[in-house]
Amino acid sequence: MTKAEKVDFAIRTLQKIYPTIPIPLDHKDPYTLLIAVLLSAQSTDVRVNQITPLLFAKADNPYDMVKLSVEEIREIIKPVGLSPMKSKGIHGLSKILIEKYNGVVPSDIALLEEFPAVGHKTASVVVSQAFGIPAFPVDTHIHRLMYRWGFSNGKNVVQTEKDAKRLFAKELWNDLHLQIIWYGREYSPARGWNLDKDIITKTIGRKTVLDDYYKNKKSSQ
């Protein structure tokens, strides 16, 4: 297969498996999505979705959020981890939203990146899922699969994002990044990987990745 044929195979397979795409984090608007994505850093979507209802019951907008103290926020979000940093970030960005943006979350990645505790990935998720603006947030699943499929060199997530944007049509980005995430979780995980279930990697995967898989599988038997 040529590189273009491999890309086309991956896209077609993902679209067949995920014709409709579940949204990983529960939210109702750009603000609650921003908070949920911030909380998801080094945590799981399942855990975040268990905690956000408790937080949003007290404050689901920046005006109510700043009425809570950093300590109060921290107590609620402790189960998701990194609560000292995240609670300060939530309180701080809520204050900035009120002071600079009349409580409205901006739809510009560069502006979002200026908020405390908001990095490029978080900003990209928000503009993509809340505003429908093409972006390609790269998480660990996408980074892993882009390497396994031979679409990126695995050097870092910055390079992986550049490669993804170069290989995939812009109008596919918002769906495709979610489809790859779900595929990575369900068919091509980092641990407990069963290549027989991973049709994309089995078909187009990087030779060194496939060789390592079979070598490790043989040695464990």
**66 in Cβ contact with 95 (< 8 Å):** yes
Write the single-letter amino acid at 98.
Answer: I
Per-residue pLDDT tens for 81-98?
999 999 999 999 999 999
Distance of CA 212 to the CA centre of its chain: 27
Q: So what's the pLDDT on residue 221?
A: 67
CATH topology of domain 3-20+137-219: Endonuclease Iii, domain 2 (1.10.1670)
Active-site residue, selected from the candidate residues 45, 121, 163, 198 = 121
Q: So what's the pLDDT on residue 189?
A: 97
Q: So what's the pLDDT on residue 220?
A: 74
Active-site residue, selected from the candidate residues 95, 139, 162, 202 = 139
Residue 163 appears among annotated catalytic residues: no
The tokens describing 197, both together, are 């279930």
Nearest 5°: the CA angle 195, 21, 60 is 125
Domain boundaries, the chain: 3-20+137-219, 30-131
Token pair 């464990």 in the structure block, residue: 220
Is the entire prediction scored with pTM above 0.85? yes
Mean pLDDT of the region 130-143: 97
pLDDT band at 219 (very low <50, low <70, confident <90, very high): confident
- Please state, for a pLDDT cut of 70, what percent of the chain lies above it: 100
Residue 139 appears among annotated catalytic residues: yes
- For domain 30-131, say whether CATH 3.40.605.10 is its number: no
